């Protein structure tokens, strides 16, 4: 059952991907120079994959909630967690293990398991996108994902936000010329891609990844464009980390002098 993650890199893309097995003792990761390297690698942005983090007994427990329901892109879902002792025990162990791994790998002083999302359903054929959730300037989204499904989770990874700002500034200015206050730039960029325009249109170079069951990976979904082509059960933990060298979308636009209206203007307070 030694499932390993498979990666196919497109040399035209800069995002590096590191795949390594999980050590028997997580303390083997917890060395300051190594942690600094991992923090820098993640912030590049890069993708870090650790195989065989979660073993079969815990995966079996987490799979109790699995459903064949297929989620539409962006659809809100409400699949509860099974109310059994075996599920609860597996869930608690998975959270503890993912949190311990994150602390050992990066050396961050995490107070808790972060924002969690248990997703026991099928996601497939997403458009290439950057996530739209809000992360304040000065912070960075640290996202970890566990594939607890029976099958590999398949991702395509496209250009990073930095790459599109460097290489496609005129297209981005055209796409975002009507951006409203508070609107995430990720939305019009994704929509344009679906219409065949701009840096995320069909035909853009893609890395291909098949995350093995039991693997946990780290990728910043606001900094790296990505699409799930197939995925079953996955569990997410996400932390906002204070950073001195901010790489948020607004800071990247400014660094590359991409002209975007209402870049930092918040949405007007609702009239309701
Ligand atoms: Fe996403």
What CATH number corresponds to the domain at position 106?
Answer: 2.60.120
Task: Report how far ligand 1's centroid is from the alpha carbon of 30 (Å).
Answer: 29
Do 148 and 67 touch, CB atoms closer than 8 A?
Answer: no
Give the pLDDT confidence score for residue 80 in this predicted structure. 83
Per-residue pLDDT of the chain (272 residues; tens, 9 = 90+): 568 999 999 999 999 999 999 999 999 999 999 999 999 999 999 999 999 999 999 999 999 999 988 888 888 877 889 999 999 999 999 999 999 999 999 999 999 999 999 999 999 999 999 999 999 999 999 999 999 999 999 999 999 999 999 999 999 999 999 999 999 999 999 999 999 999 999 999 999 999 999 999 999 999 999 999 999 999 999 999 999 999 999 999 999 999 999 999 998 886 54
Task: Report how far ligand 1's centroid is from the alpha carbon of 127 (Å).
Answer: 9
Task: Report how far ligand 1's centroid is from the alpha carbon of 33 (Å).
Answer: 30
Domain with 132, as residue range(s), is 6-160+205-244
- Residue at 1 is within a domain: no
Do 130 and 225 touch, CB atoms closer than 8 A?
Answer: yes
Task: Report how far ligand 1's centroid is from the alpha carbon of 28 (Å).
Answer: 31
| Beta-carbon neighbours within 5 Å of ion ligand 1 | 131, 221
Cα of 45 vs its chain's centroid, Å: 11
- Residue at 134 is within a domain: yes
- The Cα 258–Cα 243 span in angstroms is 22
Give the pLDDT confidence score for residue 160 in this predicted structure. 98
- Residue at 165 is within a domain: no
- Residue at 184 is within a domain: no
- Residue at 81 is within a domain: yes
Give the pLDDT confidence score for residue 31 in this predicted structure. 97
Give the pLDDT confidence score for residue 266 in this predicted structure. 92
Give the pLDDT confidence score for residue 76 in this predicted structure. 80
Do 176 and 246 touch, CB atoms closer than 8 A?
Answer: no
3-state secondary structure at position 88: helix
Give the pLDDT confidence score for residue 271 in this predicted structure. 52
- Residue at 148 is within a domain: yes
Task: Report how far ligand 1's centroid is from the alpha carbon of 253 (Å).
Answer: 20
Beta pairing class for 122-124 and 70-71:
parallel
- The Cα 103–Cα 81 span in angstroms is 25
Q: Is 136 exposed, middle or buried (0-12, 13-18, 19+ CB in 10 A)?
A: exposed
Give the pLDDT confidence score for residue 144 in this predicted structure. 98
* CB-CB neighbours of 188 under 10 Å: 19
Task: Report how far ligand 1's centroid is from the alpha carbon of 85 (Å).
Answer: 31
Cα of 262 vs its chain's centroid, Å: 26
Task: Report how far ligand 1's centroid is from the alpha carbon of 151 (Å).
Answer: 19
- Residue at 154 is within a domain: yes
- Residue at 178 is within a domain: no
**pTM of the full structure:** 0.96
Give the pLDDT confidence score for residue 270 in this predicted structure. 67
- The Cα 232–Cα 123 span in angstroms is 6
Q: What 3 state SS string does 141-183 have?
A: EEEEEEECCCCCEEEEEEEEHHHHHHHCHHHHHHHCCCCCCCC
Cα-Cα-Cα-Cα dihedral of 57, 22, 113, 241, to 10°? -160
Task: Report how far ligand 1's centroid is from the alpha carbon of 221 (Å).
Answer: 6
Question: Number of structural domains, the chain?
Answer: 1
Task: Report how far ligand 1's centroid is from the alpha carbon of 108 (Å).
Answer: 24
Task: Report how far ligand 1's centroid is from the alpha carbon of 225 (Å).
Answer: 8
């Amino acid at each position: 059952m030694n499932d390993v993650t498979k990666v196919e890199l497109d040399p035209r893309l800069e995002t590096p991907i590191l795949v390594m097995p999980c050590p028997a003792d997580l303390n083997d990761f917890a060395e300051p120079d190594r942690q600094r390297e991992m923090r820098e690698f993640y912030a590049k942005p890069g993708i870090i994959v650790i195989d065989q983090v979660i073993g079969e007994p815990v995966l079996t427990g987490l799979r109790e909630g699995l459903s064949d329901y297929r989620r539409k892109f962006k659809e809100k879902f409400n699949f509860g967690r099974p109310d059994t002792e075996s599920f609860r025990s597996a869930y608690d162990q998975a959270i503890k293990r993912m949190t311990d791994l994150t602390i050992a790998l990066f050396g961050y002083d995490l107070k808790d398991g972060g924002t969690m999302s248990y997703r026991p359903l099928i996601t497939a054929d997403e458009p290439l996108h950057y996530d739209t959730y809000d992360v304040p300037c000065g912070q960075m989204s640290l996202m970890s994902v566990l594939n607890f499904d029976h099958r590999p989770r398949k991702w395509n990874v496209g250009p990073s936000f930095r790459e599109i700002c460097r290489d496609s500034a005129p297209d981005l200015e055209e796409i975002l010329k009507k951006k409203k206050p508070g609107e995430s730039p990720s939305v019009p960029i994704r929509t344009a891609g679906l219409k065949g325009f701009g840096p995320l249109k069909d035909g853009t170079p893609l890395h291909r990844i098949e995350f093995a069951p039991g693997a946990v990976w780290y990728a910043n979904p606001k900094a790296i464009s990505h699409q799930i082509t197939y995925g079953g059960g996955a569990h997410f933990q996400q932390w906002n980390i204070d950073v001195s060298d901010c790489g948020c979308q607004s800071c990247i636009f400014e660094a590359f002098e991409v002209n975007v209206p209402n870049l930092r203007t918040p949405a007007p307070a609702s009239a309701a």
